[in-house]
Structure 1
Amino acid sequence: MAIRRQPTTLDYLSPTQFRLVINQLPKVEFFVTACNLPGLNLGDTIFPTPLKPIPVQGDEVTFEPLNISFLVDENLENYKELHDWLIAIGFPQSRDQFKSFRSQTSVTTGATQGNSRDIGDVQQATPANPMFSDATLTILSNKNNPVAEIRFEDVYPTTIGALSFDQEAADTQYIKTTADFSYKLYTIVKL
């Protein structure tokens, strides 16, 4: 019985051993310096009683956002990739920005306008709906072997951080920014 309680792996998880791939952002992958495995929250319901109210588990899981930090390349290619995706979703100038991204800019294979004319249409991430992407966070062992994958479904950007330029910087400091993503859910797959 006690043998089942003994760990089979005595190595610790390293915060530097990971690789993040977001299918829609191929130029960001190499420059990612940090990301998180988002937390989960299961709400609870208060069950009233004559004495003390009793908390009972809820039925809805909330996923925290996926946050990444990445270095910006000097031609702004990786920043622009993310910027264009975010602008296409929000289309601040015209609906053509949304339509153009779906049909021309998206790197999703076979991206087309799709059958739906509804701007708020939310479907599975398929070639017909390239406004979403899938992402994979690969956790590596201390020997750089993949041990697990966290697979995110229907990822889309919600925030991109500012770029700060400073003439008074003493040493060469490369510009880093952040981005936040929402998604439908994630699953952990042990490799």
Structure 2
Amino acid sequence: MKIGVIDYGMGNLFSVEQALKRLGCEVLVTADENELDTADALLLPGVGAFPDAMKCLAETKLDCYLQKVKTENRPLLGICLGMQLLFEESEEVAPTKGLGFFKGSIQRFSGMNEGKAYRVPHMGWNELIVTNRPIWLQDEAPAKHVYFVHSFYAAEIDEMELVAYADYRGIKVPGIVANGSVTGMQFHPEKSGALGVYLLEQWLKGVASC
């Protein structure tokens, strides 16, 4: 299977590329639309600030390309910031429009809950609680915890699009979202041990079955 990792200048590409290769994938890391069109599925990574990422996507016209990908129902997986870009908007740095594939906005953890302070960013291992199983995620997982590193999270989402969440200081943090052919993972599956490998593997099997 060939996976196109979208290189728009803001992703930790090496770790994702290596994780996919370990699962037997041929991996293209590129911003070239013609090359991406040869892939069976696409992966949108991301590290950094939301406005900078949207600017990079616009400058390379990959934002328009991703809209075409969504229209054509091609499999797309967004990871970490890559998932956040799939939502309608973000308040990070300055109000910025996202790709709009999922309902909701990206908001910062306040750092306070019921008068008690908590750490921001949300960093470390957290239990992933599955609420809505898509077709590709039917089997029991080999572990329960995944690795998060983020200061912003998706809020005001459509609960029908929520697959799994993590509880962080009483906040329901969307961990996996899905809408048709588009999937998002807020955590880093490539850094999440047995469960991360399992989730990537299951997503790939879902792509293959299509």
Q: Place the TM-score, normalised by the shorter chain, in its bin.
A: under 0.3
- TM-score, normalising length from structure 1? 0.25
When Rg is computed on C-alpha atoms for both structures, the one with the higher figure is 1
Higher helix residue share: 2
